[in-house]
Amino acid sequence: MNTAIWISLLASVVVAATPLLLAATGELVCERAGLLNLGVEGMMAVGAVCGFIGAFHTGNAYVGLLVGVAAGAVCGLLFAWLTVQLVADQVATGLALTILGHGLSGFIGHGYAGASIAGLKPLALPGLAQIPLLGPILFDHTLPVYAALLLVAGVHWFLTRSRAGLTLRSVGEDPKVSYSLGLRVYAVRYAAAIFGGAMAGFAGAFLSTAYTPMWAEGMVAGQGWIAVGLVVFATWRPLRLLAGAWLFAGVGIGQLFSQAVGFALNTYLLSALPYLAVLLALVLISRDPLRIRLNTPASLGRPFRAET
């Protein structure tokens, strides 16, 4: 196999990892605030259809991305209202939002099935794109690919170096103590949920405006669930999301590549490989329960009421 094929394969992995990175980073922030949002899959579906419709009618894929982000933020606001304000069960609410998101996206996007748009064009970074090997792999992509990488670095800095990030982590560890210290627990959790929803919408809009610039029902194809698993795989640390996203994207791209070169494996087995990789990774991580307990936000999934 020549070098050009390897470069093309690795560049494809970086692109395929982008929606996973976007959705997983948003979910990580949400979970760091103590909210377990299992509605990422549905939010991505809503972001995908709204993003595509926005791009289709305006002729501008960047507008579509913004519409997708806004749609995801609305879904995140709904999740926050139900779980923070009304203290609904977070697991049940997230699952309900996934079902709602799939149904709503199918209903809204029915008339757009099979339609396509021009999509986003790659923006090669001057100087960096010409670096041998690494240049075409990392620095010759569309804008959302770079945004996802910067987002991971930004969230890492936010959580470890900023006062607001420390506040968010404090709320995720013990909201009652945080509330007694005068921190705005409700506001922090609302903001985290909206951010998580916006990033899920961004991930979905990337799929329909850049990765495959078209709308098809079910195009999210379980990536929201992989994003949720990625957060656990990364043990709630942003920089580890990069390794996880590239690993799982590599499995997915690898199975497509193996089909292209005629590698004889069952098609259904190849399609299941990314999800099997997630399960295997989670099983391996679970062998060290102490590490999981140390990194898991203590109040994750637990309701909070200010009066108690």
Q: Quick one: average pLDDT of 241-254? A: 84
What average pLDDT does the chain have? 89
Q: Quick one: average pLDDT of 142-171? A: 96
> In sequence order, what are the beta bridge partners of 124?
140
pLDDT value at 258 more than 80: no
Contact 207, 219 (CB under 8 A): yes
Domain range enclosing 172:
3-295
Q: Quick one: average pLDDT of 108-137? A: 88
pLDDT digits (tens, 9 = 90+) for 62-75: 999 999 999 999 99
Separation between Cα atoms, residue 201 and residue 50, nearest integer Å? 9
Q: How far is CA 252 from CA 10, 41, 45, 141, 224, in A?
A: 12, 17, 19, 19, 14
- What pLDDT, on a 0 to 100 scale, did the predictor assign at position 296? 85
pLDDT value at 255 more than 70: no
pLDDT value at 257 more than 80: no
Separation between Cα atoms, residue 233 and residue 279, nearest integer Å? 10
Asked, for residue 193, whether it belongs to a domain, the answer is yes
pLDDT value at 286 more than 70: no
Confidence class for position 285, pLDDT limits 50, 70, 90: low
Asked, for residue 306, whether it belongs to a domain, the answer is no
- What pLDDT, on a 0 to 100 scale, did the predictor assign at position 247? 85
Asked, for residue 108, whether it belongs to a domain, the answer is yes
Question: Any idea which of 1-5, 182-186, 288-292 has the lowest mean pLDDT?
Answer: 288-292
Counted domains in the chain: 1
- The crossing angle, in degrees rounded to 10, of helices 90-108 and 61-80 is 150
pLDDT value at 291 more than 80: no
Q: Quick one: average pLDDT of 9-13? A: 89
Separation between Cα atoms, residue 209 and residue 4, nearest integer Å? 26
Q: What are phi and psi of 214, to 5 degrees?
A: -160, 165
Question: Any idea which of 77-81, 100-104, 286-290 has the lowest mean pLDDT?
Answer: 286-290
- What pLDDT, on a 0 to 100 scale, did the predictor assign at position 201? 97
Asked, for residue 304, whether it belongs to a domain, the answer is no
pLDDT value at 122 more than 60: yes
What CATH number does residue 160 fall under?
1.10.3470
- What pLDDT, on a 0 to 100 scale, did the predictor assign at position 1? 53
- Could you give the 3-state DSSP secondary structure of residue 51? helix
pLDDT digits (tens, 9 = 90+) for 186-241: 999 999 999 999 999 999 999 999 998 999 888 998 899 999 989 988 889 999 89
Asked, for residue 302, whether it belongs to a domain, the answer is no
- What pLDDT, on a 0 to 100 scale, did the predictor assign at position 41? 97
- What pLDDT, on a 0 to 100 scale, did the predictor assign at position 263? 59
pLDDT value at 259 more than 70: no
Confidence class for position 295, pLDDT limits 50, 70, 90: confident
* N-term to C-term CA, the chain: 64
DSSP state of 68: H
pLDDT digits (tens, 9 = 90+) for 39-62: 999 999 999 999 999 999 999 999
- Could you give the 3-state DSSP secondary structure of residue 124? strand
- What pLDDT, on a 0 to 100 scale, did the predictor assign at position 288? 66
Confidence class for position 276, pLDDT limits 50, 70, 90: confident
The reply to whether the predicted model has a pTM over 0.85 is yes
pLDDT value at 308 more than 60: no
- What pLDDT, on a 0 to 100 scale, did the predictor assign at position 130? 86
Asked, for residue 308, whether it belongs to a domain, the answer is no
